[in-house]
Chain A
Amino acid sequence: MPSHRDEESAHLCLGRLVNRFGDDNERVMALIGLMKEADATDDATLEVVLKEYEALLQENPTNIPIVKRRVALLRSIGRIPDAVTALTGLLDFSPTDSEAWSELSDIYFSQGLYSQAIFALEEVLVLQPNAWNNRGAAPHVHQIGIGDQNDSAKQLAEALKRFCRSIELCDDYLRGYYGLKLTTTQLLNDPPKPSKQAESDGLSPPNLSTLQKLDGLATEKLGEITRRFTAGERGWRGFEEAEIVAARELLEKSSSTTVR
């Protein structure tokens, strides 16, 4: 458990915030609730906290920080459907909240509802078109295992497009290149049959030579990033260690399959 001192300093900070902004400030109210959740030891206490959130929302139903806390708490205690209902309620009166759309997509994704997750992510895309880390492509990739053959070509092409956009928005974006490599490998190893419907949507995957070029580019870039990060070069140390390890594993796997 976190030591007693950590909790003490957290309470001290919260006390100062309350003194400064008053306990009727919406953000401070959310922080107070957060503290109660953290201190709760059993489910009964959590229920009490949930009841308090609901009472606060009775007074002011548009208290956004509290609505968000309620969603998080519902999700945390496993009442996912209630969490989704509360979250869609929030999005009804605050549809430009990209954080909430992103959370909704994450909840749907965790439940395997990929098309809903994609819908929510597309909302994020509309709200934050320049965000290079929008994970628009991730559910597309995962949907492959589920969608039928005609659909998977379309999803892969879509995923390819999203990763290319991420890279276009951000030089040396490790996760973008990782996704690109993953998608091109899949498209090259198992080329989906071209379907008329996908072509009419303008979503058919690019031809073979373009795919090979993209694959080569991704391999080269991933190699460069892992090499320069491992060498500890100046200005290349900002990546996450775990992501570098994953990229190296992907590279090794793909090179071993080409040798075979």
Chain B
Amino acid sequence: MRVSRAETTLNYVILLAFAAFALAPVLTILATSVSAPLGESGGLHLENFARAWTVGGFGRSLGNSAVVAAIVVSLATVLSIGSGYALGTMRFRGATVLFYLFLLGMMIPAEATVIPLFFDLRTLGLTDTYAAIALPQVAQSIAFGTFWLRAQFRAMPSSLLEAAALDGAGPVRALTRILVPASRPAIVTMLVLVFMWTWNEFLIALVMTPGGSLRTAPLGLATFQGQYTSETALLAAGAVIIALPTVILFLFLQRHFIRGMLEGVAK
């Protein structure tokens, strides 16, 4: 299809303008993160990252985030594989109702659950624990994961399970030896998305850690912003440190991000 030169030029102008808009804040923060901190002269200040790391205690908050992400991603994936398997390949009474109950979970905002969770877990003495930060996010991710993996398992040819049955496989072996390996791309997509959501989560982590000892990375940055308002260079360096894991993951696994975010939410 031929496109006129004038139109091609206009297309580039539009794309470049919006690409510039998309990149401007990213470049601003990158530039600020290596700019001169308070009381120092210009030039490139790569040591900002090391200073932000110690001053902001990011080693600790990144560690907390890693623990929470590991719990949420592993637990949500294993549990969703089970529920997705049951709802995607088995017939039983109440399957439809249960499916809709899980679907409902994709619409429940954290704002609604976080208040009772905080007060109830406080009564049980469980606030300021990894479980308090992770389990509400596991529940959210199970709603998505069940929906996502049910669709995946359901789309697999039924001959796979029949062949497994002929080989004498039980339900567990058929799942772990056949369905899961054959669903690796869909499972990777889920891992990637759940990791990103957990890493970036703010409200749940904020409410569940009133003591501040288990601050996750985004909370660490929020606290840092509150304490060192005028240290823009260090603040920007901290922000870059926290954004890096998801951005790198995105650049390498772009296909999974895009597929999951488009199909997962679009169905």
Are A and B genuine complex partners?
no
A contact set with B: CB distance below 8 Å: none
B contact set with A: CB distance below 8 Å: none
